[in-house]
Structure 1
């Protein structure tokens, strides 16, 4: 929830954080619905109206996937590709088992983030920095 704390601390009305596997329509024919572990939607994306029950018809500005022990790397990379293809500009994959993360950007670049490094929210959340060590606790 560091993103939520960041938004409150900067008094920014930058957008909204959704947790609990919020569902997003990524494509039709065939229908493709995905639910990240956490999503951030900017005010710009929220202009379409209030968030209602059911699946959202837009994509998030940031999708966060947290790798579980049962996730296969290939399936996770496929999800990342689907987010990016649908127009999500930034996708984070956080791996608590290996204590690392990857940031996938719309331009095709990938940033590998080690256990003692930080994820950066730019360009979606300029100035937001999430030190990975803050996620691991006392490991």
Structure 2
């Protein structure tokens, strides 16, 4: 019986582009198909609302889909949220790292894909908080909801005309849930 060796973050970083998206979860490489058009449109909508707000208020940096965050070592875990935000005070004076960001973003936004299971989504939420994230937003296109976690056990489900509130992390940011899903 052979025992497969865990993949490392460095190996993931050096992998050639295969056209697939990858995450590394406790040393296990997980490959995903490229996102569909609805998924991509929702990511663009959220990024397009967060980016100008964060920039105009000089709060930090917004990161697009596919940005890797190395959130644990030995075995390594590298997650790639659909949208991420890091506070200004966490951005190194020397600039952004070329490789994966070391640690969790302050905010991780995950848009649920049709093939995602409840267990997989719960695992991502737990991973983000265990790595130090301050908030996680789970966007569910089918239900047209945004579930806002401000802590692992502090959860609010927003729908329709409810507004996502940036709270202390993004003070003054407000965005209507129905706008996330606008055709």
Shorter-chain TM-score above 0.5: yes
Structure 2 spans left out of the alignment, 5+ residues:
1-47
**RMSD of the TM alignment (CA)?**
1.5
- What is the deviation of 1:58? 2.8
* CA deviation vs aligned residue, 1:44-77 (integer Å, no higher than 9, x gap): 1113642132211132111000011111111011
Which has the higher Rg, Structure 1 or Structure 2? 2
**Counterpart in the other structure of 1:3:** 50
Q: TM-score, normalised by structure 1?
A: 0.90
Map of 1:1-139 to 2, 5 A cutoff? 1-8=48-55, 11-47=56-92, 49-106=94-151, 108-138=153-183
In the alignment, the residues of structure 2 paired with residue 81 and residue 49 of structure 1 have an alpha-carbon distance, to the nearest angstrom, of 31
Query: Helix, strand or coil for the counterpart of 2:52?
Result: helix
In the alignment, the residues of structure 2 paired with residue 22 and residue 82 of structure 1 have an alpha-carbon distance, to the nearest angstrom, of 16
* CA deviation vs aligned residue, 1:8-31 (integer Å, no higher than 9, x gap): 4xx311101000221001111211
Structure 1 spans left out of the alignment, 5+ residues:
none
Structure 1 residues 121 and 71 mapped into 2: Cα distance closer, same or farther (>3 Å)?
same
Query: Helix, strand or coil for the counterpart of 2:102?
Result: coil
* CA deviation vs aligned residue, 1:57-104 (integer Å, no higher than 9, x gap): 132111000011111111011100100111100000011111001111
Q: TM-score, normalised by structure 2?
A: 0.70
- What is the deviation of 1:107? 6.1
Query: Helix, strand or coil for the counterpart of 1:77?
Result: helix
The count of residues paired between Structure 1 and Structure 2 equals: 136
Which of structure 1's runs of 4+ aligned residues deviate more than 6 A? Answer: none
Contact 1:41 1:61 in 2 (8 A): yes
